[in-house]
């Protein structure tokens, strides 16, 4: 209804320049008498709309956990690895011969230190050291 009003008003403004008052009244009566119908979606259109909507929701669901931590005002507190966690990581490495080990987000470096004691060549990748 609002679209009809604005389109009628725009049409009337354009016609004011070229028509007399009688022509304007006639055109306005024709525009207000007509009904605006929305085009119906075809089966293919409904399928494409469903695929697009599902894809959008899926992308939002996948990316939301990565975006939300950046939006926090207060960062989560640092929680160091427990002795049990360090032991579990080292038990996973027992089957491997000492080689290179990269620890991403190593925090306080407890896993890095323990792996270095077991003769691994360790690379520690962390932006801060116990802030």
Residues in a beta bridge with 30? none
pTM over 0.85: no
Residue 42 backbone dihedrals phi, psi, to 5 degrees: -80, 170
pLDDT of the residue at 33: 65
Domain spans of the chain, in order of start: 2-33, 83-125
Q: How confident is the model at residue 9 (pLDDT cuts 50, 70, 90)?
A: very low
Closest CA to 16 of 4, 28, 5: 28
Q: Can you list the alpha helix ranges (DSSP code H) found in 1-131?
A: 2-16, 21-33, 43-67, 83-92, 110-117
Is residue 58 over pLDDT 90? yes
Structure tokens given for 54: 């599902």
User: Quick check: 12 and 27 in contact, CB under 8 A?
Assistant: yes
Find tokens 């996948």 and name the residue: 62
* Mean pLDDT, all residues of the chain: 75
Give per-residue pLDDT as tens, 88-109.
988 988 888 888 888 887 777 8
Q: How confident is the model at residue 55 (pLDDT cuts 50, 70, 90)?
A: very high
């Amino acid at each position: 209804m609002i679209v009809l009003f604005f389109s009628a008003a725009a049409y009337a403004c354009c016609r004011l320049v070229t028509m007399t008052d009688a022509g304007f009244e006639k055109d306005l009566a024709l525009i207000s008498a007509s009904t605006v119908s929305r085009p119906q979606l075809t089966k293919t259109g409904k399928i494409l709309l469903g695929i697009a909507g599902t894809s959008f929701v899926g992308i939002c669901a996948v990316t939301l956990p990565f975006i939300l931590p950046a939006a926090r005002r207060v960062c989560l507190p640092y929680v160091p690895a427990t002795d049990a966690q360090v032991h579990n990581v080292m038990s996973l490495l027992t089957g491997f011969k000492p080689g290179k080990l990269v620890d991403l987000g190593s925090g306080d470096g407890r896993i890095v230190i323990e792996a270095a004691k077991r003769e691994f060549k360790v690379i520690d990748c962390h932006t801060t050291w116990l802030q």
